[in-house]
Amino acid sequence: MDRDYELQTHQAEDRHWWYRGRRGVLERVFDGLDLPAGGAPIRILDAGCGSGRNMIELARRGTVTGVELSAPSVEKARERGCGEVIEGSVLGMPFADDSFDLAVSLDVIEHLEDDLGALRELRRTVAPGGALLVTVPAYQWLWSGHDEINHHERRYTRRSLQAVAEQAGWTQTRTTYFNSLLLPVAILLRVLDRINTKTTESSLDLWVPPEPVNRVLELPLMLEAAMISRGGRIPAGLSLLSVFR
């Protein structure tokens, strides 16, 4: 990710409708996970934790450890004080086998040339009976300036994500697209992104609109979160979420 864009992300992710909405979706999925029960807190890994914003919610569910490659993001994540944050790559993490009950990798593996290697490393560090929750951007045909500025390697479909995860030793137990209601808008912005380099989707990514507008844009994700919490599966969307065992 471009450094300036990364720092702008740190400023936006608390208030931006997309980040707030995604956290709402994730919370509902976390609620439905059947994780190992016992006396000790659940051990959680946030692989590619960025600034550590999601560690705030994860820390309420157990003991959370973050791994992040970018030094500025590591510094920001440590300032949050939600758990240990290690500077390093998800392709080679300094943990013993079976160290965690739950791993999350939220919009991370699309940045990696070796997504299979990352999923294998996550498989190594998650204990038997544990789970992995992954989110990624959907559909290669939606490739745009947004992907370029974020240094993405690829976008996924349900089948392509399932295939690489199964190759790494995971079994998919749940999958759904999300952010579906804004898909037509995103398609239009992708078209404009290819035609006009001055007004692009990537230039609008981190703009936080006035709060009434921000809430309206967040509402579709809230509705999807409610649907997902009841076991629903959304057939299409800008993002893809999968749970693996």
Q: How is residue 244 annotated by DSSP?
A: E
51 backbone dihedrals φ, ψ, rounded to 5° = -80, 0
Give the HSE-up count for residue 107: Cα atoms under 13 Å, Cβ half-sphere.
16
- Counting the structural domains of the chain, the total is 1
How far apart, in whole angstroms, are the C-alpha atoms of residue 103 and residue 105? Answer: 7
Query: Which token pair is 23?
Result: 């956290």
Q: Three-state SS for 136?
A: strand
Tens place of pLDDT per residue across the chain (245 aa): 677 778 888 888 999 999 999 999 999 999 999 877 666 789 999 999 999 999 999 999 999 999 999 999 999 999 999 999 999 999 999 999 999 999 999 999 999 999 999 999 999 999 999 999 999 999 999 998 888 888 999 999 999 999 999 999 999 999 999 999 878 877 777 777 666 655 444 445 778 889 999 999 899 999 999 999 999 999 999 999 999 99
100 in Cβ contact with 127 (< 8 Å): yes
pTM of the model: 0.91
Domain that holds residue 157: 3-244
Q: For position 224, which CATH number holds? A: 3.40.50.150
